[in-house]
Amino acid sequence: MDSPISEVKRFLFWDYPRAGWQYDVMVGLILAFIFLTPRDWFRDQPRANSVVMLPSERGETVFWMDAAQLSATPETARASAAATLLQARTGKKYRVVRLEPIVDSEQEIKGFMAFTTP
């Protein structure tokens, strides 16, 4: 009979023959963990990008920015905050010419369109 410490070592290092019952129990535990663990425990929900470059015309570059990125900024300073955020995200310096809020049917701001020039 093996000591409890050697059994723990065998369990941790998976030192059981492939056709043994211990191997089957370990595989069952792993599969139960994978399929029965709630997804919220790992917080791995997909997230959309908060800044997205959109196709544009006439030499302007247009970015869509999530409302959460600029909501804490006062309205008068949003253009400069948007330019700073764009430089941090893209590594290029942009001058924000126009910043338009995107609102839903209840007039709640959902995002911003930042029209820029290089």
pLDDT digits (tens, 9 = 90+) for 73-113: 888 888 899 988 888 888 888 889 889 988 988 988 888 99
Residues 24-72: tens digit of each pLDDT: 888 899 999 999 988 778 766 666 678 888 887 777 788 988 888 888 8
* Token pair recorded at residue 42: 């790992």
Domains identified in the chain, total number: 2
Q: What 3-state class would DSSP assign to 46?
A: coil
CB 79 within 8 A of CB 97: no
Range of the domain at 56: 51-117
Clarify whether residues 64 and 90 are in a common domain.
yes
pLDDT of residue 47: 60
Clarify whether residues 10 and 66 are in a common domain.
no
Clarify whether residues 72 and 110 are in a common domain.
yes
46 domain-assigned: no
* Token pair recorded at residue 111: 């995002």
pTM above threshold 0.85: no
pLDDT of residue 58: 75
